[in-house]
Structure 1
Amino acid sequence: MILDANDIPAGTELQADLCIAGAGAAGITLALALEASGLDVILLESGGDAAEPAVQQLYTGTVAHARLHPPADSYRVRRFGGSTTLWGGRCMPLDAIDFEARDYMPHSGWPIGLDALMPWYGQANALCEAGEFAYTAEQAFARADPPSRPMIGNFESDVFSTNTLERFSCPTDFGARYRNRLAKGRVRVVQHANLCHLPQTHGATRLVGPAQVKTLDAKAFTVAARAYVLATGGLEVPRLLLNSPGVSGNGLGNAHDVVGRYYMSHIAGTIGTLDLSGASSVWHGYDVSDEGIYCRRRLALRPQAQHDLHAGNFIARLHHPRIPDAGHGNGILSALYLARPIVPYEYAKRLYGDAPGGVGNWLAHARNVIMDAPNTVRFLTHWLTHRTLATRKFPSVIVRPANLRFSLDFHAEQAPCEDSRVTLGDERDALGMRRIHIDWRYTRQDVETVTRSLAALAQEIERTGVGSFAYDPAEVEAEMTRYGAYGGHHIGTARMGDDPRSSVVDANGRLHEADNVFIAGAAVFPTSGQANPTLSIVALALRLADHLQRQANLSTLPVPVTSTSSTAL
């Protein structure tokens, strides 16, 4: 059922076996997975079904380096469905190497391996509506007739593969897609409910609760649950923990000052000119699987090459020339430039960067559109029918240069850094909670990952005779930081590990310092890998749901009741 916190009397104490905070990909997945568990579950969501400026404003904070990190309230959405109301739908699993402790990657190593997530990835794919769990061309297109095209004909390399895939969700808005199912189910979804404080019992019990909840209208009530799951995202999780003092007084789960540290995103950029005129064929567009899923190949640095180069995980895609430069002469790209005023910030930042302005540049793009009118019209017609009006949207702009000269779009693992962190600022929001301060940093290892990977790719392109890759190595660091921390990938701020001195939660996502608080989402990732995090967030949430249902034995934990106004709403 779906309730509104504004309809709950002030001072009420709701009781449940489990209280989940945050109705994004992780929280909704948990709620769906536990529907038939027999557990009494409450799912708290700060927003409602639609965007509300006053609610979104709760996400604002400060940023140490505005050039390196977007504003705190961008790339995440405080409403039912969370950031799945905004995401682009790109899905792929983590790789086995991402879980390894690597001597060249500081603070690497998960307490679990890829095998711990494999039982859940198939179901995660289904919830994300990304088709079957098949992430190589051989798996996804085994029955294709004619056979699927190679990405780069005659490119055979022991350093880079070209057969791994990205699969694309609709993209699925978890709030819209699963609302009716939750409305008819046993889970109590409470919208406009802001979890503000998790008090921890002093003494030997190591229990937390009841949770203190507020609405923007200053109404307060509590949720007394046997256990709590924080599924509020990689920036909000540390804010919630640090706003709750815990027994140490430094924040719940933060006795060793680890909460908020090791904050990662991904390193991404566009660089150079990749001339593939020597290849027997080139395919950089989307293939469509039997289930109608858009899939795309990419260049991926093989695991052994990562070890040999002492580089983090790295992938690259064939990309069109930079949109702001009217010198490309392409009407399609210029039409996208002219549409800049209506493109959301989260996409405009990556599409345009620090685009040149002025009347002259605008006229040059308008000239391209007119001179290339037939191609522009075809593209806009396709975009309207296959993107704007389609339920399953064509994922991105694909422009094939006639001379097969591409730029290279790369996406790389960021190394964990203890000084890259999220802390509390001095300002308070409308609920009285301290806002976050973000100090995202990159390291020399990040620069080396991109530098060594690009050099290896240039060598392999030349060795195989398919073309050439020209770029300025001196510009690598500037290019990889052009857009700063990549999008909404907020990773590592409550990392998983076996040692409480260097991690926040254990292998099951439970706080080291509390028996009844768990964290779901990318905050628990010890390393970022190369993959966009949503699919693995969903898989980990399914794994946590199984643990809560089968192993955590919540029935042995008491429900902390602190008032006489309890209700079974």
Structure 2
Amino acid sequence: MRAIGEALMIRNGKDIADGAVIETQVCIVGSGPAGITAAWELQKAGVKVTLIEGGPDSPGSALDPTWPAKSLLYDGVADGQFAEAEPDFLIRPYNRAGGPWERERMFGGTSAHWGGQSRPLDPIDFEKRPGFPGWPITREELDPYYAQAAELCVLHGDDFRPETWAEILGAEVPELTGFDTTIYQYLGPNYLKFAQRTFDGVTIADSAADVIVNATLLQIDHEQGRVCGLRVASMDGASPPKKATEFTIKADYVVLACGAVENARQLLLSDVGNDHDQVGRYFMCHPLSTGQVISVGGAYLTDAQTRLMGGKTLVGNRPVTWQDENGVRVSGRFSPSAEEQKRLGIGSCWFWSNYGQYYFEMAPNPDSRITLADTVDPVFGQRQTHITWLLSDRDEATYTQTTQLFKAAVEALGGDVYCQSWPSVKQGLTVNGHHIGTTRMSADPQEGVVDADLKVHGLDNLYIAGSSVFASTGISNPTFTIVTLSIRLAEHLRGKVGAP
């Protein structure tokens, strides 16, 4: 590794000669939390890693004339549920006041605007049940990697039990009939942005990994069940940008880590992994209502229970937000228990004390999907994205059943709950930044895109990282599980290349 304090060794694709060939053991495409985590773990084990990113090495703004390529390359067609609430989803800022973007195209990816909210998926999320296919792995198999992810993210350990946190905060665990009290940890501010943060004292750019920005994947060349090369291009930085150079990367193993939208698009562009028409299907998210749709009146929690849900401890007689020496904070949520989810045939959701928005687990829907648009981008001439977001009757049942369950539980404790109707809630739902599915994990190639090791079915050396491999969304924010799966993938690839 380079010494701390030396200049960052990030290469720009336009400085790589036209026609050049770069050889490496593992090439990772995409530098968000998935890609950077995998790259860090691999280079630490002595694996030769090349990490490429299509965007620049620092964020621009929607008005920055240097990098308008985000909107040019990400544009396309968004319909279905998007048509009413987010027709510009593919290129929109994450909030309409301007940046950060729903889909970041820069070094560090969406960790640039990640809030750090972390919790493992629940055991039920991995189980097969009506409307939910199950994963080919269990939560128990992921537990050791969740522990490693908690350490990598510098969380306050990997214990998320509410009883543990009630003891830490000097608070009490609420008992709400039909619901579990769940605890979320939030990363400290120094560990949010994966491109700038340090791992064991150095950033990923200071590590042994070869980081190349302004390097857009154009084509995955493959033959006889193997990826034999990646065609990569750079832009010249003009406004509007034009193609500058094109070069090839040859790797023993390739990992796509471009996010759920772009992972699917890249496979479709190269006609890879789609023998059973599964690529792009099951686009999911955690739909979030626009504004307050649930009103809670009356005191149904004690002061000590309220403090647990708010992540507060007592200093004297005053409740104060708790945080540890690394800036980690916590808060609580109410989610329907696994027993209630199975009994009612629904997904999960959040209720957050007196918080009025609704956030829930979307059921997998094969018609909610990504395909290729008929239009092409103006920089590289590649087909753009056509994304269709569709909800299902099971999503309506999740809303109706969980709100009724919450209302009954709160009223039993002396409170009161009012919920808007599903049609009024549905018309204002937004994606909320969590893009999930489209290359889901499955044991059967006819039911998904990657296997339990995240290898694309039918190819020996192509893997996918990120939440596109999730077979269901669960209710936890996806990034912590993305990091967990990337640690597990790096371990698998170390074995493949013979590294310790």
Establish whether TM, by shorter chain, passes 0.5: yes
Question: CA separation in 2, counterparts of 1:143 and 1:306?
Answer: 30
Q: Determine the structure 2 residue equivalent to 1:272.
A: 294
Matched, 1:514 2:459: yes
- Determine which of 51, 70, 74 is the counterpart of 1:56: 70
User: Secondary structure of 2:488's partner?
Assistant: helix
Q: Determine the structure 2 residue equivalent to 1:110.
A: 135
Q: How many angstroms does 1:141 deviate by?
A: 4.8
Letter in 2 for 1:41: V
TM-score for the superposition, normalised by structure 1: 0.75
Q: Determine the structure 2 residue equivalent to 1:437.
A: 386
Deviations 1:203-260 (A, max 9, x none): xx3111210000013200000111100000000001111111xxxxxx2101111100
User: Secondary structure of 1:117's partner?
Assistant: helix
Question: CA separation in 1, counterparts of 2:401 and 2:492?
Answer: 40
Please say if residues 126 and 139 of structure 2, whose CA atoms lie closer than 8 Å, have aligned partners that are also in contact.
Answer: yes
Q: Residues 477 and 94 (structure 1 numbering): CA distance in 2 closer, same or farther, change over 3 Å?
A: farther
Q: Determine the structure 1 residue equivalent to 2:433.
A: 488
Deviations 1:445-501 (A, max 9, x none): 0110111011011111122x33111234xx1242144133x2221111001101111
Question: CA separation in 2, counterparts of 1:286 and 1:296?
Answer: 4
TM-score for the superposition, normalised by structure 2: 0.85
Question: CA separation in 2, counterparts of 1:509 and 1:68?
Answer: 33
Matched, 1:213 2:240: no
Q: How many angstroms does 1:123 deviate by?
A: 2.4
Letter in 2 for 1:122: A
Q: Residues 280 and 229 (structure 1 numbering): CA distance in 2 closer, same or farther, change over 3 Å?
A: closer
Question: CA separation in 1, counterparts of 2:302 and 2:477?
Answer: 31
Question: CA separation in 1, counterparts of 2:74 and 2:350?
Answer: 31
Matched, 1:25 2:33: yes
Q: Determine the structure 1 residue equivalent to 2:4.
A: none
Question: CA separation in 2, counterparts of 1:496 and 1:278?
Answer: 41
Please show how residues 65-464 of structure 1 align to structure 2 within 5 Å: 65-69=82-86, 70-74=88-92, 75-102=102-129, 104-106=130-132, 108-144=133-169, 147-150=170-173, 156-162=175-181, 164-171=182-189, 172-178=192-198, 180-201=202-223, 205-217=224-236, 218=243, 219-244=245-270, 251-269=271-289, 270-277=292-299, 279-281=301-303, 282-283=306-307, 284-287=309-312, 288-291=322-325, 292-318=327-353, 406-429=354-377, 430-463=379-412
Please say if residues 48 and 191 of structure 1, whose CA atoms lie closer than 8 Å, have aligned partners that are also in contact.
Answer: yes
Superposition CA RMSD, Å: 1.9
Please say if residues 267 and 446 of structure 1, whose CA atoms lie closer than 8 Å, have aligned partners that are also in contact.
Answer: no
Q: How many angstroms does 1:185 deviate by?
A: 2.1
Q: How many angstroms does 1:39 deviate by?
A: 1.8
Please say if residues 141 and 289 of structure 1, whose CA atoms lie closer than 8 Å, have aligned partners that are also in contact.
Answer: no
Matched, 1:502 2:447: yes
Letter in 1 for 2:398: T
Please say if residues 237 and 523 of structure 1, whose CA atoms lie closer than 8 Å, have aligned partners that are also in contact.
Answer: yes
- Stretches of structure 1 that go unaligned for 5 or more consecutive residues are 245-250, 319-405, 556-569
Q: Residues 477 and 294 (structure 1 numbering): CA distance in 2 closer, same or farther, change over 3 Å?
A: farther
What is the percentage of aligned positions where both structures have the same residue? Answer: 34
User: Secondary structure of 1:242's partner?
Assistant: helix
Question: CA separation in 2, counterparts of 1:187 and 1:168?
Answer: 28
Please say if residues 21 and 232 of structure 1, whose CA atoms lie closer than 8 Å, have aligned partners that are also in contact.
Answer: yes
Deviations 1:368-414 (A, max 9, x none): xxxxxxxxxxxxxxxxxxxxxxxxxxxxxxxxxxxxxx453332111
Q: How many angstroms does 1:149 deviate by?
A: 4.7
Q: How many angstroms does 1:417 deviate by?
A: 0.5
Q: Residues 278 and 18 (structure 1 numbering): CA distance in 2 closer, same or farther, change over 3 Å?
A: closer
Question: CA separation in 2, counterparts of 1:160 and 1:223?
Answer: 50
Please say if residues 294 and 357 of structure 2, whose CA atoms lie closer than 8 Å, have aligned partners that are also in contact.
Answer: no
Question: CA separation in 1, counterparts of 2:447 and 2:334?
Answer: 34
Please say if residues 195 and 203 of structure 2, whose CA atoms lie closer than 8 Å, have aligned partners that are also in contact.
Answer: no
Question: CA separation in 1, counterparts of 2:207 and 2:473?
Answer: 34
Question: CA separation in 1, counterparts of 2:235 and 2:390?
Answer: 33
Question: CA separation in 1, counterparts of 2:213 and 2:302?
Answer: 56
- Determine which of 24, 35, 43 is the counterpart of 1:35: 43
Please say if residues 258 and 494 of structure 1, whose CA atoms lie closer than 8 Å, have aligned partners that are also in contact.
Answer: yes
Letter in 2 for 1:101: K
Letter in 1 for 2:489: L
User: Secondary structure of 1:209's partner?
Assistant: strand
Question: CA separation in 1, counterparts of 2:188 and 2:426?
Answer: 28
Question: CA separation in 2, counterparts of 1:96 and 1:177?
Answer: 31
Q: Residues 480 and 132 (structure 1 numbering): CA distance in 2 closer, same or farther, change over 3 Å?
A: farther
Question: CA separation in 2, counterparts of 1:227 and 1:184?
Answer: 23
User: Secondary structure of 1:62's partner?
Assistant: strand
Question: CA separation in 2, counterparts of 1:134 and 1:48?
Answer: 37
Please say if residues 10 and 221 of structure 1, whose CA atoms lie closer than 8 Å, have aligned partners that are also in contact.
Answer: yes
Please say if residues 271 and 407 of structure 1, whose CA atoms lie closer than 8 Å, have aligned partners that are also in contact.
Answer: no
User: Secondary structure of 2:19's partner?
Assistant: coil
Please say if residues 273 and 471 of structure 1, whose CA atoms lie closer than 8 Å, have aligned partners that are also in contact.
Answer: yes
Letter in 2 for 1:36: K
Letter in 2 for 1:99: F
Q: Residues 115 and 407 (structure 1 numbering): CA distance in 2 closer, same or farther, change over 3 Å?
A: closer
Q: How many angstroms does 1:113 deviate by?
A: 0.6
Please say if residues 17 and 554 of structure 1, whose CA atoms lie closer than 8 Å, have aligned partners that are also in contact.
Answer: no
Q: How many angstroms does 1:526 deviate by?
A: 0.6
Deviations 1:299-343 (A, max 9, x none): 12111111112111222113xxxxxxxxxxxxxxxxxxxxxxxxx
